[in-house]
Amino acid sequence: MVCADADDERRSATVTALESAGFDVLAASSVSAVEAALDDDVDCVVTAFRFPDGDGFDVVGTVRDRRPDCACVFFTSASPSELPRGGRDQIVEYVPQSVPDARDRLVDVVEGATAEATQAAYPLPENETERLAAVRAYDVAELSAEATFERLTALMTTHFDIDVAFVGLVDEHEERFVACTGANWRTLAREDSICTHTILTDEEMVVEDTHEDPRFAEVDRLDELNIRSYAGARITDEEGNALGAVCCIDDEPRSYTRAELDDLRRFADEVEEQLLLRRRLGGGGE
């Protein structure tokens, strides 16, 4: 985690409290220092409010640009009414330094905020911790399944007459495209990914027009990728943990017949079975 405070003494005391609680802490004294400290392992940023080069909301903006799921906690002597208003969507946790044993409270809140993706801008599956462990158990590269999946997604684009077909695994922070025909996508942040919603249901998920669906109409990234319609079927492991989804994408609004969705389910079943068989053959790490 990162702990930011322009005041050396206060920052040092906060870092010590967090380290005593078992956190790995990088100290920062400015907004730009927070930006420099951010890496893929940071999952929480505790920040004071005033810095020489900006304020706490600038820190939140910087953090969320790089790490959309990262928990942000304001730890400041300013009361809520003294804080200027940030962006309406810069939601953070807040612990005032004025409460008794403030650093103990901070540790409690940080422990809660880092236990799971608590500031995620998308719905989380109930069993997210077990689900993530299940996803990690499948190393697709090691399973040598990519070529098989590429063949399947190529078949799907022809079969459904669509622009793009892919197999995506939903990791902790992003969806990872392990096979993709019709586009060169590698990853997509979970808050921008429709599959984030698909993994919540055992039914096929259809978005006939992203512009008409309130969950996705404001997601600019989908427009940038020319994703206007979507059909997806989730893939699970033997225990029922959702690993990701097999999906159809087009740049025009379109609907899917029941027969087409049954076919999509068959493609997804094929992917599930390939993953399972290859893991049983010992290709992938547990």
Interface residues with other proteins (CB under 8 A) are: 57, 74, 79-81, 83, 85-96, 99-100, 105, 108-109, 111-113, 115-126, 191, 197, 200, 213-215, 217-219
Report, in Å, the least distance between residue 122 CB and other proteins. 5
Report, in Å, the least distance between residue 265 CB and other proteins. 20
The counts of H helices and E strands in the chain are 9, 13
Report, in Å, the least distance between residue 60 CB and other proteins. 9
Nearer to other proteins, 229 or 274 (CB): 229
DSSP type of residue 269: H
At 82 the three-state DSSP class reads helix
Three-state SS string over 100-138 comes to CCHHHHHHHHHHHHHHCCCCCCCCCCCCHHHHHHHHHCC
Nearer to other proteins, 212 or 273 (CB): 212
Nearer to other proteins, 57 or 166 (CB): 57
Which amino acid appears at position 110 of this protein?
V
Strand partners, 206: 231
Nearer to other proteins, 85 or 280 (CB): 85
Structure tokens at 243: 């690993």
The candidate with the shortest Cα–Cα distance to 71, out of 127, 20, 24, 110, is: 110
Q: Give the N- to C-terminal CA distance of the chain in Å, as an integer.
A: 28
Report, in Å, the least distance between residue 131 CB and other proteins. 13
Report, in Å, the least distance between residue 211 CB and other proteins. 12
Nearer to other proteins, 234 or 278 (CB): 234
